[in-house]
C-alpha cells in the first residue's frame, strides 16, 4: 500500500489497492475497535463539525481502509445532508493536499513529494483531454462540456458560462479555478454510488460506530442566539483569520471553515462576509466563490448549522492567536463574542 493511496483514497488505484490487499471489510469491522473503523468515524464526524476529514493516521493501511469504511458509515446514517457534507469535506481536504503536493510549475511536473502531478489528477478523473495548460501562464483551457459538468453546481456569477471567455470550445480558467473544478470532480467521485447497500452483517458490526456519528449529529447546536454583527468585538482568532483573508491569503480548509462557520453562526450571509473582507463579488470571483461555498457547507441542509470549532480545536490547528484576558475564561470563540456583545450592552 502506498502513502499516495492513503492521501487520495478515492483514486481508482487506491480502490484497487484495497481490493488487492484482499481485506475482508466484514472481518475488519467485526473487530469493532480496529483503528480503521475509529479513523472512519473520525472522517465522518470531522466532516460534520470541522468541514474536513481530520488528521491522517500515520499508518497507511489504517488511513486507506478508513475511507471505504467511512463510505459505509455514511450509507448507514443515510441522511442526504450528511452524505453531501461528507463528500464536500473529503473533496476540500483533497484539494488542500493537492495544493501542497503539486508544484507551482505550469508544466505539470511531479510534486515536491513525488506524490501526485496535476496531469495525473486530470487523468484520474478522465479530464486529460479536457484540460490543457496555457503556455507561459498559470492558466488552463477546459473544454466547454467538461467545464459545464464541473461548474454547474457552483454558485456565483463568475462561473456562469456566458461571462467566460469561451472561444473555440474552450473556457480559460486560472489555476485556482481549476482546483475548484477538480474539487467538484472529487466530490462527485466520493458521492458516487452513495448510499451503498450494506450487508446486514457489516451493518450490525458497525452499530457502535454509527451511534458515535449520530451522537455528534445530535450534538450539533442549532444557531447561536447572537445576530448582531460587530466586527470590533470578534475574538482575536477570528480577527486574525479575517486579516489573513483580507491580505489575499488563501486560508487552509479548516481555518476557512472556522471563519465561515463563525460568520454563519452570527447570522451573516455571503454578501455580508464579502463586505467584511472588503471585496466586491466581481472583483475577486474566486474568493467570492469560496465564501459562498464555505457558508453553504457550514449551513448544511434543513437549517442545521455546524458551529465553529472550540478554542481547543482552534489551538490544535494553530489558529488560536493573540489571546487576551477574556480568552482565558472561555472555551469557545462564540462564547467570547457573546460575552463581549453582552458587556457592550445596547
User: Interface residues with other proteins (CB under 8 A)?
Assistant: 130, 143-146, 148-149, 152-153, 157, 160-170, 172, 282-283
Residue 78: half-sphere exposure toward Cβ, Cα within 13 Å: 6
Question: Is 311 strand, coil or helix?
Answer: helix
Radius of gyration over alpha carbons of the chain, in Å?
A: 21
Q: What are phi and psi of 171, to 5 degrees?
A: -110, 120
Question: Is 142 strand, coil or helix?
Answer: strand
CB 119 within 8 A of CB 128: yes
CB 23 within 8 A of CB 65: yes
The three three-digit cell numbers of residue 178, written as one number = 481549476
The three three-digit cell numbers of residue 212, written as one number = 458515535
Question: Is 193 strand, coil or helix?
Answer: coil
Question: Is 144 strand, coil or helix?
Answer: helix
Amino acid at each position: 500500500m502506498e502513502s499516495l493511496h492513503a492521501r487520495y483514497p478515492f483514486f481508482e488505484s487506491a480502490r484497487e489497492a484495497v481490493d488487492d490487499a484482499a481485506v475482508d471489510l466484514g472481518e475488519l469491522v467485526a473487530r469493532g475497535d480496529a483503528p480503521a473503523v475509529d479513523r472512519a468515524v473520525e472522517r465522518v464526524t470531522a466532516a460534520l463539525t470541522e468541514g474536513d476529514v481530520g488528521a491522517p493516521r500515520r499508518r497507511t493501511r489504517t488511513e486507506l481502509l478508513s475511507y471505504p469504511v467511512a463510505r459505509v458509515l455514511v450509507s448507514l446514517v443515510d441522511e442526504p445532508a450528511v452524505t453531501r457534507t461528507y463528500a464536500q469535506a473529503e473533496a476540500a481536504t483533497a484539494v488542500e493536499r493537492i495544493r501542497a503536493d503539486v508544484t507551482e510549475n505550469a508544466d505539470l511536473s511531479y510534486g515536491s513529494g513525488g506524490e501526485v502531478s496535476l496531469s495525473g489528477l486530470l487523468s484520474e478523473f478522465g479530464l486529460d483531454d479536457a484540460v490543457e495548460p496555457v503556455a507561459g501562464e498559470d492558466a488552463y483551457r477546459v473544454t466547454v462540456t467538461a467545464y459545464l459538468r464541473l461548474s454547474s453546481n457552483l454558485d456565483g456569477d463568475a462561473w456562469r458560462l456566458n461571462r467566460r471567455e469561451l472561444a473555440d470550445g474552450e473556457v480559460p480558467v486560472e489555476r485556482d479555478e481549476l482546483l475548484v473544478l477538480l474539487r467538484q470532480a472529487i466530490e462527485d467521485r466520493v458521492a458516487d454510488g452513495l448510499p451503498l447497500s450494506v450487508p446486514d452483517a457489516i451493518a450490525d458490526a458497525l452499530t457502535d460506530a454509527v451511534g458515535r456519528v449520530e451522537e455528534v449529529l445530535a450534538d450539533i447546536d442549532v444557531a447561536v442566539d447572537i445576530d448582531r454583527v460587530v466586527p470590533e468585538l470578534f475574538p482575536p482568532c477570528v480577527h486574525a483569520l479575517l486579516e489573513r483573508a483580507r491580505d489575499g491569503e488563501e486560508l487552509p480548509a479548516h481555518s476557512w471553515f472556522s471563519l465561515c462557520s463563525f460568520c454563519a453562526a452570527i447570522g451573516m450571509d455571503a454578501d455580508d462576509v464579502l463586505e467584511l473582507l472588503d471585496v466586491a463579488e466581481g472583483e475577486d470571483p474566486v474568493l467570492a466563490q469560496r465564501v459562498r461555498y464555505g457558508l453553504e457547507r457550514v449551513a448544511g441542509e434543513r437549517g442545521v448549522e455546524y458551529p465553529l470549532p472550540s478554542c481547543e480545536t482552534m489551538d490544535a490547528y494553530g489558529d488560536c492567536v493573540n489571546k487576551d484576558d477574556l480568552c482565558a475564561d472561555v472555551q469557545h470563540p462564540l462564547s467570547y463574542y457573546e460575552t463581549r456583545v453582552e458587556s457592550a450592552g445596547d
